[in-house]
Structure formats: C-alpha cells, structure tokens
Amino acid sequence: MQLKSQLDFDDLILGAKILGCGGGGEESLARSRVKFILDNSLSVSVIDPHNLPLDALLCVTGMVGGRSTPTTLAHIAHLSEIDPWPMLSATSLLESHLGTKIHTLVSTEIGAGNFLVPILVSARLRINVLDGDLCGRAKPEISISTSNVLGIPITPLAIASTVGDKIILQSAQTDQRAEAIARNLAVLSGGGVGVARCPARWSDYQKAVIPNTMSLAKKLGSAVRFARESNTDPIQAILTSIGGKILFSGILESFSARDENGFVIGELILKNTDNQEFKIWFKNEYLVTWLNKQPFVTAPDLICVVDAETGEGLTPWSDDFPTKRPIVVIGKKNHSLWYSQKGLEIFGPRHFGFDFNYQPFETLAIKNY
C-alpha cells in the first residue's frame, strides 16, 4: 500500500473515521501529522504482514488520553512544552530500554488520528509500519487489544509527555493496570501522552494482528470519495466496501457528552419516521446500542455512525451532532479473535458495566432500517 500523496492520506483518514466508530484519535491531529510528512518530503514504509520475518521485533506506538480540558491543562499550566512529539520519544525510549531497534510498528486500533501516529513515527524514525492493527475498530482503553487476548505482555511500556516526562513501566500485573497508569499520566499531562508498548517478535504477533486494515480504510475512503464525486450513494459505497449492514437510519433527537477521567462519555438518541428509537452509548467510541430500549449491537462489533448524505464518519469528540441531523448507523462483525471468552471479557458490554451479555451480530434481527 502506498502513502505518498495528499489524496492517499485523505482517503485513509476518511475511511478510518468511519471504521474508528467515533474514536481513534482526532482528525485535526491526523491532518497536522500528514502536513508534516508531506512538507518535509518524508517517506512512509508500509509493510504487508505476509512480508515480515518471524524474528522481526515489533511494538505498538500510539497516544493515550482524551480531550484537553481546563482540568487536565491546569496540571501543566506552570510547565513549558518541550516535546511536541511524545510518540517519537516514547518509541525511542523503548528502543533504548531494549537496547535494539524496532523493525515494525503496529497500530493499536483503526482511527484517523491513531493510524497516523505510527505512520508519523515510521516516517520520522525510518521504521516500517504494519498494514494491520490490534482491534479491528477503535476502542477506549489500551488493554482492549488482541495482544491482551493472546497474552502478549504489555510491558515494558514507555510513556512520554509533552512536558518532558519519560517513564518506563517495567511490569504490571494486568493490562488493565497498565492502562490505568498510562491514563492517569495522560490526565496529569494535559490530556494525552505518547506510549510504546508490547515489544515482541512477529512469531508471537502474527496471530494477534488483524491484517490489512490500513488498506481497508484507504479503500473505503476511496469508495466514499468516488461516490461523492459521481453523485452516487456513499452509504451504499460503505456497505459494499466493508460488508456492513444498516442498523438504523434516523434523525438525531439528543446528544450529551462529558469528560471523565480521561474519557469522553455520553449517549446519543436517534428516531425515525416510524417513531422507533435507537440509543448509542459511547466511551470515546460507540460501544453499546439499544433498539426501542432493548439491548442491540455492542462491542466488539463495529458501530459506525455516519452522515446520511455524505457518509462522513461522525465523532462525539467534536461538534458533529446538531439536533435533527440525518444519521445512518452501520454495523459490522469484528475479527473472530474477539469472540473467545477472554475477548468478550475484555471488550463485551459487561466490561463497561452493563448487566447483559454480548449478542452475536449474526443472530440479531437487523432489518436495514
């Protein structure tokens, strides 16, 4: 897969916003990273999973945190920003700790911003970046990862902040414990920190990686762009590209969001012309839905919320939800790794505090509303 032109990156971001299920990093940050790559004529080496040697050393490079708020920014108000690229510092710190170079970077998830983190690090540090990820969509916690499902250790874990903090977490009893440590450091650092984690060989990683999701995002973005340019239906372009189903189509009735412990949490409610109601709960990403007050599609499946006219992916992180906006919700089954007992413990609705089990996507009465 080539990432050389503005159009290449535009298509990737467009597709990743949809597949990211509302999260996966902010588009504005993705755009600034793309601008830096193109303005400095940097090259990105995207490697297909089939082309990796078994002894290649990989790690996950990304960002942890939520929106910058007055509360989080107050923690660093008296400090100077000395590191504008903490994801680079975290990766270099992990390499220094290991005493060896990383061969290939892995994205923690699909998302406009968090795809561009390892891509930027790839361009800056001349490291390969893998065409794949460890979630198949976006998720709110780094512990929600196929690496966790398959037992790849999350530590040693390197953390770097914009104010110059550099930390190696040597060990953690669980991935959730490591997530809590990184999340709290993000809150104390203005809202986000750079993180590099899960160093392991490709022989350990190959069963955990969901392959070619970067290519899928770029292909999806191209399809939606072509549909817009040719005045055809972008919603159908999405359905065809990813094999998804329409879960609901309606008008936004209400939207609420709050910042809490480094997450953006809230819900949105849609209604259609038959007065049916569709509710979505999010924690950075869209995770749980109800159809007419009954539990419906949930994580680990994909819940993609898009504008009904343009197919643009919508996010609770910005001002995407004016009342009466026409919206389509598209669902898709995730990778099979997530449907093991451990996968559902990590990423099913009970993990987020809901008192009901995951319902298999293929058993639900999805009527393409």
pLDDT at 66 (0 to 100): 78
| Residue 34 within a domain | yes
CA distance 115 to 131: 10
Residues 156 and 276 in one domain: no
- The list of the chain residues with pLDDT below 70 reads 368-369
HSE of 313, CA atoms in CB hemisphere, 13 A: 35
One domain, residues 291 and 190: no
> Which residue is associated with the tokens 């809230």?
266
In-domain check, residue 219: no
Choose one of 187, 211, 235: the last residue of a domain: 211
In this structure, the number of other CB atoms found within 10 A of the CB of residue 27 comes to 22
Instruction: Give me the pLDDT at residue 369, please.
Output: 57
Can you say how many angstroms the Cα of residue 232 is from the centroid of all Cα atoms in its chain? 28
Within a domain: 347: yes
Domain region containing 21: 6-211
Same domain, 53 and 158: yes
- Based on the domain organization, do 79 and 202 belong to the same domain? yes
What is the pLDDT at residue 190? 94
Long-range own/partner contacts, residues 4-9 (CB < 8 A, 24 or more apart):
4/43, 4/44, 6/34, 6/38, 8/218, 9/34, 9/37, 9/38
Q: Are residues 55 and 201 in the same domain?
A: yes
206 and 229 co-located in one domain: no
Domain boundary among 188, 211, 234: 211
Q: Does residue 27 form part of some domain?
A: yes
The pLDDT assigned to 223 comes to 98
Domain check: are 235 and 187 in the same one? Answer: no
Inside any domain, residue 369: no
- Whether residues 257 and 341 share a domain: the answer is yes
Q: Residue type for 53, please?
A: P
Residue 220, in any domain of the structure: no
Q: Is residue 1 part of a domain?
A: no
In terms of domains, do 150 and 40 share one?
yes
Contacts of 196 (CB under 8 A, 6+ apart): 59, 60, 61, 87, 90, 91, 93, 94, 157, 158
Residues 297 and 322 in one domain: yes
Same domain, 202 and 229: no
Q: What is the pLDDT of residues 25-84, one digit of tens each?
A: 889 999 999 999 999 999 999 999 999 999 999 999 999 987 888 999 999 999 999 999
Output the pLDDT for position 157. Answer: 98
Q: Domain check: are 200 and 329 in the same one?
A: no
Say how many domains are in the chain.
2
**What does the angle CA 260 – CA 266 – CA 268 come to, to the nearest 5 degrees?**
165
CATH number at residue 73: 3.40.1610.10
Of the CA atoms within 13 Å of residue 360, those in its CB half-sphere come to 6
Determine, yes or no, domain membership for 90. Answer: yes
Of 211, 233, 250, the last residue of a domain is 211
Owner of token pair 């999340």? 183
